[in-house]
Amino acid sequence: MFGFFYYDWTILIVLPAMILAMWAQFKVKSTFSQYSKTRTRAGLTGAMAARRLLDSNGLYDVNISMTPGELTDHYNPKDKTLYLSKTVHDSNSAAAIGVACHEAGHALQDAKAYAPLKLRMGMVPVCNFGSSLAMPLFLIGLFINPELGWGFMLAGIACFSLATFFQLVTLPVEFNASRRAMEGMRDCGILYEDELSDARRVLSAAAMTYVAALATSLLSLLRLIVIANRHRD
């Protein structure tokens, strides 16, 4: 038998990505906190800035609502609503405006049928289903006869790879939303040039969390493959 799945040396494969993920989370929180103290000269709140960006692109039907939590901001394409946390919705800092306009960038993607966003949206139910099956299938294969278990483990790896592909598709979606946000904040006069630099730092820090998520998923997938091969041998 291979041994304890969560306590063998293959955890070292994922360790670099886990460290990167922890660093990315720390970086985004500390960067947001730093630039949350900087009030912008135009005096717009995050909600007001997002509204200006949306209206300038004719997206009058997209709503803006407050959502509980910290950095829980997101765009829901199903109800065409930006959900902004209180620290973003009501703040007139460069950090808040950057995050709010990033979410508005997703609404712009939706309106223009941006292909990677459409692909990611279409993958959600499949990835959720695959993710729920991945580890049960893999563990069944790990703890039964190697010849029979190999098929279960391959099925688990295939399901897990769907989640990895989802993370891969997420990267261009997030980077493109930030690019649209930066262009919109400049074109709509939401932020001055020096303030745009502050917002860019916040969005760059946030982007690293998606890079870390992809790295974690890729290395976790590699770990499963290594375990499966050892179990088969």
- Active-site residues: which are they? 103
From CA 61, how far away is CA 106, in angstroms rounded? 14
**Cβ-count burial 54-93 (b if 16+ within 10 Å, e if not):** beebebeebebeebeeeeebebbbeeebbbbbebbbebbb
In this structure, which amino acid lies at residue 93?
S
Q: How many CB atoms lie within 10 A of CB 197?
A: 12
109 contacts 82 by C-beta, under 8 angstroms = no
Rounded Cα–Cα distance for residues 70 and 218 (Å): 28
Place of tokens 């976790």: 220
Q: Strand 81-85 relative to strand 74-76: parallel, antiparallel, unpaired? A: antiparallel
d(CA 81, CA 38): 27
CA-closest candidate to residue 202, choices 17, 34, 13: 34
Closest CA to 227 of 100, 134, 109: 134
